[in-house]
Amino acid sequence: MRLLLIVQDPRYRTLLRHHISCEWPEAQVDHRSATREAHPIPPEYLAQGYDVVILDEDWLGGKGLAWLRDLANRRGFAPIVFLANETDSRAAREARLCGAFGVMVRGRFSNQSLIAVLDEAARMQQRARADWRISPAAEASRRFGPVRIPGYRCVRRLAGGSASQLYLAESEKAGALMVVKVTPSVRDEEGVDQAFERFLQEYEIAHRLHHSSIVRCHELGVADDHAYLAMDYYPDGDLRKRIRAGISPADSLELAAQVAGALVALHGAGALHRDLKPGNVLMRGAHRVVLTDFGLAKHAAITADMTDPGVIFGTPHYMSPEQGHGEPVDGRSDLYSLGVILHEMLAGEKPFTDASPMAIIYKHRHHPVPRLPPSVAQWQEITDTLLAKRPEDRYPTAAQAESVLREAAGRARAAAAA
């Protein structure tokens, strides 16, 4: 038995868990939270991995009934048991009409009646899942471009390039929306699958760190001559979107400090990112970031060297001078990339641009660090240090950069509040 609770009151969630565990000791019971404005369930989500969803009327802003209407109208959504405040209330009557599998009244049901409704709903869901799995629609939903991935329902394609494609998917096993990255298997002359090796490295790095500012990778697999990687989905987009909307100096410094904190964990695990850019910094809400995409990372514990000496990998706008010239790099190269991001957040534009990638790489090494606008010029020393041409002139560690950035963010917040 697997249930999803959309219930505001934590004490009532505890009571429901008690009722459920008395009948099904091994049951998995998850819950979703919401703010006053936000819907607790993303619009693409069908809760197909759950047997029953329990939805409370008594939610922030009194939106439980409106959420029921939405969820019940999603074709294929799991059965919903609605918790109404009163037996003869308008909400209870409408809940029955608009698709709730069952309606229970808070505080007025017995353990036996709750268990009976949940058991009936779960049996209906299991029959529906069995019918769905052998249907043509289910087969089509498992297609990610040319690849069929069991256990995932493809919602839509998010982005892609020459190396890989990103899809939004619902994982039945995890009961959540995820990003699935898919790339064709490419074997070198020695028979090594380079695509899988890169995904294996990305999975190992993200999976072992368990850091709040580093994306979680849940599954690595191979299907139809492709490798795939499933990871957490963040619907708020990436730092590029936030930069386009404009960021205050205090928020710019704070977000940069969070990225530096993620680099502390990454470097501490013996890895370098090597492709740090706003597109690889995901937003978790308005004020938190999550670092992702370790496909170009270097890990000291992994012996397979997947890049040849002198070969350039990364994004030219955010490359350190040494990386852009195919020279050896260390953690200070990631700090240079962080400096480019910080300059872009503060100034609203990248420090070095040109029509060709090689011209940009040349500027990183030979052109002076651009001046920030007068309104944020007080942070020039920080960007100068991060963007120093020589690694030895930058902050020696990500931890020191994080400390400087957090102190600066505090000063910027104090100045804004004054």
For residue 1, how far is the Cα from the chain centroid? 27
Is the Cβ–Cβ distance between 272 and 329 less than 8 Å? yes
CB-based contacts of 276, cutoff 8 Å, min separation 6: 259, 263, 291, 318, 334, 337, 338, 341
CA nearest to 338, candidates 406, 268, 402:
402
Q: Residue 328 CB: number of other CB atoms within 10 A?
A: 9
Is 275 one of the catalytic residues? yes
Residue 170: which of 99, 221, 112, 218 has the closest Cα?
218
**How many C-beta atoms lie closer than 10 Å to residue 396's C-beta?**
12
Q: For strand 52-56 and strand 80-84, is the pairing parallel, antiparallel, or unpaired? A: parallel
Question: Contact at 8 Å (CB) between 226 and 185?
Answer: yes
- Identify the active-site residue in 51, 232, 275, 293: 275
Instruction: Name the residue with tokens 């209906």.
Output: 124
Annotate 211-238 with b (16+ C-beta within 10 A) or e (fewer): bebbbbbbbbbebeebbbbbbbbbeeeb
Phi first, then psi, for residue 79 (nearest 5°) are -60, 140
Helix (H) or strand (E) holding 80: strand 80-84
With tokens 């020589």, the residue in question is 390
Enter the tokens of residue 417: 């509040």
Sign of CA dihedral 147, 150, 156, 160: negative
DSSP class of residue 371? Answer: P
Tell me how far apart the alpha carbons of residues 354 and 153 are, in angstroms, rounded to a whole number: 41
Structure tokens at 257: 């400090």
Cα–Cα distance between 205 and 257 in angstroms, integer? 21
Q: CA 233, 336, 379: angle at the middle one, nearest 5?
A: 95
Tokens, residue 378: 């007080």
Q: Is 31 within 8 Å of 50 (Cβ atoms)? A: no
Helix (H) or strand (E) segment spanning residue 223: strand 217-223
Q: Contact 84/91 with Cβ under 8 angstroms?
A: yes
Catalytic residues: 275
